[in-house]
Amino acid sequence: MKFTPIYGLLAEFDTPTELVVAARRAYEEGFRRMDAYSPFPIEELAEAIGMHSDRVPLVVLVGGILGGLGGYMLQYWINVISYPVNVGGRPFHSWPAFIPVTFEMTILFAGLAGAFGMLALNGLPMPFHPLFNSSRFAFATRDRFFLCIEAADPKFDLIAVRTFLESMNPRSVSEVPH
């Protein structure tokens, strides 16, 4: 990563529509190292900055398969191999009785994989981030909408980017120090 004197330029908007329009225009301008920040999820926004899919469903699927297989195999191993007990003449491998626990383990592992996988893919926990240096950024969790074009972007040029951001009528444009 090249050394940059600042983290990026942060533009602040009042409405979700303005932010989505700005994000789309920035993407069209060729900026890629950027992110948009909003106080609630906006469907169009990730698409606007060029993120078309996420891998959370895959993680959940893998978690669910591992949980289900693990749960069933655990019961098979215990009841057939390690500790076979004759219960009312039922076969050792009495699979219908193993379904509830298999199901619960599938849900448990899929759910945990979804939650922790989402956090891991998001790079959280991350208690410190350059954006928190910006005094305006606290409003990103209240009622303001932000677009940050990062200095690490190959097309980043302080003056040009500032002019570009200001052309979209933001409430303010500020530099984010590292």
Partner 1 sequence: MDPQERVAEKISVTEGRPPVIAPGHTFGTITDKISAIVLIRRTGIGWLIGFGIGFMWLMILLYAIAYLVYRGVGIWGVNIPIGWGFAITNFVWWIGIGHAGTLISAILLLLRQSWRNSINRFAEAMTLFAVSCAGMFPLLHLGRPWLFYWLFPYPNTMNYWPQFRSPLVWDVFAVSTYFTISLVFWFIGLIPDLATLRDRSQNRFTRAAYGFLAMGWRGSARHWKRYETAYLLLAGLATPLVLSVHTVVSFDFAIAIVPGWHSTIFPPYFVAGAIYSGFAMVLMLAIPIRAAYGLEDFITIRHLENSGMVMLATGLIVAYGYIMETFMAWYGNNPYDKFQMWDRMHGPYSFFYWLLITTNVLIPQVLWIKKFRTHPVLLFLVSTDVLIGMWLERFVIVVNSLHRDFLPSSWGMYYPTRWDWFTLFGSVGLFVAAMFLFIRILPMISIFEMRQLLPQATVKAEAE
Stretch 24-43 residues interacting with partner 1 (CB under 8 A): 24, 35-43
Q: What tokens were used for 160? A: 């040009």
Choose between 132 and 157: whose C-beta lies nearer to partner 1.
132
Contact with partner 1 (CB under 8 A) among 29, 104, 157, 166: 104
173 forms part of the interface with partner 1 (CB under 8 A)? no
3 forms part of the interface with partner 1 (CB under 8 A)? no
80 forms part of the interface with partner 1 (CB under 8 A)? no
17 forms part of the interface with partner 1 (CB under 8 A)? yes
Nearest to 149 by CA among 121, 132, 127, 174: 174
Peptide bond into 125 cis (omega under 30): yes
162 forms part of the interface with partner 1 (CB under 8 A)? no
Nearest to 145 by CA among 135, 136, 153: 136
CA 30/CA 113 separation, integer angstroms: 35
DSSP 93: S
Contact with partner 1 (CB under 8 A) among 6, 62, 66, 108: 108
